[in-house]
Amino acid sequence: MEYIYSQNQILFAQIMSYIKSTLEDGIRSIVIDKPESLNALDTQVIKELSDEIDKVYNNNQIKVVILTGAGKAFVAGANISEMSVLNQEEGYKFGMAGAALFRKIETLPIPVIAAVNGFALGGGCELALACDIRIASDKAKFGQPEVSLGITPGFSATVRLPKIVGVGMAKELIFSGKIIDAVEALRIGLVNSVTTPEELMNSALELAKMIASRASGAVHKSKVSINDSSDMSTNEAIENECKLFSECFTTYEQIEGMKAFLEKRRPNF
């Protein structure tokens, strides 16, 4: 697919950024900020968010990421206007771009908390699924409505949703395309907790600060073990956990953590 831009349009595209981020006390807060489209995932937003995640990979000062959206939505979905003109090859490339980004988030060495403030539909729900922990506002809405558009989920919902809510529930949500509220999302295990819109970011920050105060190497190895286990047999997963556990005994964190416990003080990680 080819596009022809004027020089002014190219300059505007270079200047415009839809990802805002801050770093404080080891916590990177990332905001998808395109409220005019309810933060819909188009090619540019996917590219910018991918670049931002790359920066997280390369900054060892960051211990936790909080991901949220500006305005009334977390992410309302992928950009339907962009998708509506794609052919099969272009659809594959678009799907792989989103899937690669979400896999990058899923395998990030540090925990990622999704603070879901509003609509998390289609690609938005899939983005939340790629995060480690999901905290929702009681105004949040979740769903995979792709079948109503004549398509399947394209950013890995058929892979991750069954692992989180179970195969039967995942099939119900994906086959029906229905939208559920935060209370139902909590009931089926799609989110970890529900709070008010006013307390959403405070709740996410409180949890992020708790995680950031722990041994970052141990948190990372725990995430690796959990993620790896889903693709392993039980025996392989147990062996993998024991290997990661043993590696902790080569670290300063293990020495300091146990010494602090025995000395009845807070560890200095």
Q: Is residue 245 part of a domain?
A: yes
CATH number at residue 39: 3.90.226.10
Same domain, 14 and 79: yes
Q: Is residue 1 part of a domain?
A: no
Domain extent at residue 246: 216-262
Which positions are catalytic?
Answer: 126, 146
Same domain, 69 and 166: yes
What is the tally of structural domains in the chain? 2
Each residue of 50-76: pLDDT tens digit? 999 999 999 999 999 999 999 999 999
Q: What is residue 148's DSSP assignment?
A: G
Same domain, 164 and 256: no
How far is Cα 127 from Cα 50, in angstroms, rounded to an integer?
Answer: 12
Q: Is residue 241 part of a domain?
A: yes
Token representation of residue 210: 């708790």
Same domain, 208 and 236: no
Core vs surface per residue 17-38: b (16+ CB within 10 A) or e? ebbeeeeeebbbbbbbbbeebb
Judge whether 150 and 129 are in contact, CB under 8 Å.
Answer: no
Q: Is residue 154 part of a domain?
A: yes
Q: Is residue 69 part of a domain?
A: yes
Same domain, 93 and 178: yes
- Residue 182 pLDDT class (50, 70, 90 cuts): very high
Token representation of residue 9: 């349009």
Q: Is residue 269 part of a domain?
A: no
Each residue of 111-130: pLDDT tens digit? 999 999 999 999 999 999 99
Q: Is residue 121 part of a domain?
A: yes
